Amino acid sequence: MPRVEIVQKHNTAARRLYIRGHNGKIYPYLVMNDACLTESRREERVLQLLRLLNPCLEKRKETTKRHLFFTVPRVVAVSPQMRLVEDNPSSLSLVEIYKQRCAKKGIEHDNPISRYYDRLATVQARGTQASHQVLRDILKEVQGNMVPRSMLKEWALHTFPNATDYWTFRKMFTIQLALIGLAEFMLHLNRLNPEMLQIAQDTGKLNVSYFRFDINDATGDLDANRPVPFRLTPNISEFLTTIGVSGPLTASMIAVARCFAQPNFKVDGVLKAVLRDEIIAWHKKTQEDTSVPLSPAGQPENMDSQQLVSLVQKAVTAIMTRLHNLAQFEGGESKVNTLVAAANSLDNLCRMDPAWHPWL
């Protein structure tokens, strides 16, 4: 009889099936019931884009020798509300690691967020606004008393007691994080929350669930305002070490940016095809939300072709500008170093929403 497991993955309870392929291998898949269909399609567009970018990485020496390839799970739409998502039974999310370590320390995993809002309430009760220094002090207090910088490193040392296993896992984690960080910044994707980051314990590969283009609901433009460019929190940088951040992480990001900047790969053409669908979906959603009168056929009005071309071109230009900036060098210095410093800065991290867990 086929075995069906009920597991908690991707922020939901899902059924895990095991399918045997023609090659004799067994592939685990999650049966996901998606209440919001449009958000699932948006996520699948980003996965499709990353899958289309992988062949470019395979054709360059600098990326191939570093094993720089996006980890993209296979997704099969079975029905309008159901899809099969490729799964790795050994994977767990960053927030699950955090909960495990909190349980070992005997503290509630919600305590840092509660403490954050308690401190804010105390400051606002005095009739003053929370200043930048107050936010910075709250972050330091959480790091000092609840979530130490070494939490992720402790988990890795406990999971991989063998030095070779630990080193191999950390190396793969570093280059995978470089790919995800570059994609998040370059493609203007939504912020990477801890529950979105899936870590495969058997390989060290990372994949992200619910990555979507961060589109401004009012204008349809890609949103570029965020305190940090990508996720490189104190816990992650402590695990990767200073050498890992300034060495393999930075070098991998530069290698990928230089690869995509090659004119012969025509990355802008791929972006236009994917972003066209994204902008059309945004337009339909805007019309439904604002109760715009339907056409005689009972469907929302189609988007004006000139407006569509303009928005797609503007989005592609924004992405390609960021890409070319990252690929360029100015006397040995790259913009990637500036981004890494910004992502690791406490002044920027303290301005992030506590649900993002800037201390993790």
Q: What is the DSSP letter of 295?
A: P
Q: Is 315:49 a contact under the CB 8 Å cutoff? A: no
pLDDT of 299 reads 59
The share of the chain scoring above pLDDT 70, in percent, equals: 95
Residues with Cβ < 8 Å from 133, sequence gap 6 or more?
Answer: none
Q: Mean pLDDT across the stretch 278-282?
A: 93
Give the least confident one: 30-39, 65-74, 195-204, 226-235.
30-39
pLDDT at 292 over 60: no
> Exposed, middle or buried: residue 191 (CB in 10 Å: 0-12, 13-18, 19+)?
middle
Q: Mean pLDDT across the stretch 213-226?
A: 88
pLDDT at 291 over 70: no
Q: Is 286:100 a contact under the CB 8 Å cutoff? A: no
Compute the mean pLDDT over every residue in the chain, rounded to the nearest whole number: 91
Residues with Cβ < 8 Å from 167, sequence gap 6 or more?
Answer: none
pLDDT of 296 reads 52
pLDDT of 9 reads 86
Q: Which two tokens stand for residue 29?
A: 């898949």
Q: What is the DSSP string of 196-265?
A: GEEEETTT--EEESS--B-B-TTT-PBP---SSSS---HHHHHHHHHHHIIIIIHHHHHHHHHHHT-GGG
pLDDT of 295 reads 55
Most confident of 1-15, 189-203, 217-231: 189-203
Q: Is the pTM of this model over 0.75?
A: yes
Q: Is 209:196 a contact under the CB 8 Å cutoff? A: yes
pLDDT of 289 reads 77
Tens digit of pLDDT for each residue in 96-138?
Answer: 999 999 999 999 999 999 999 999 999 888 878 888 899 999 9
Nearest CA among 45, 36, 30 for reference residue 211: 45
Tens digit of pLDDT for each residue in 157-168?
Answer: 999 999 999 999
Query: What does the domain layout of the chain look like in residue ranges?
Result: 39-71+89-359
Q: What is the DSSP string of 44-95?
A: HHHHHHHHHHHHHHHT-HHHHTTT-------EEEEETTEEEEE--TTEEEHH
Q: Which two tokens stand for residue 287?
A: 């019309």
Measured in degrees and rounded to the nearest 5, phi and psi for residue 88 equal -120, 110
Q: How many CB atoms lie within 10 A of CB 333?
A: 10
pLDDT at 290 over 80: no
Tens digit of pLDDT for each residue in 325-357?
Answer: 999 877 677 899 999 999 999 999 999 999 999
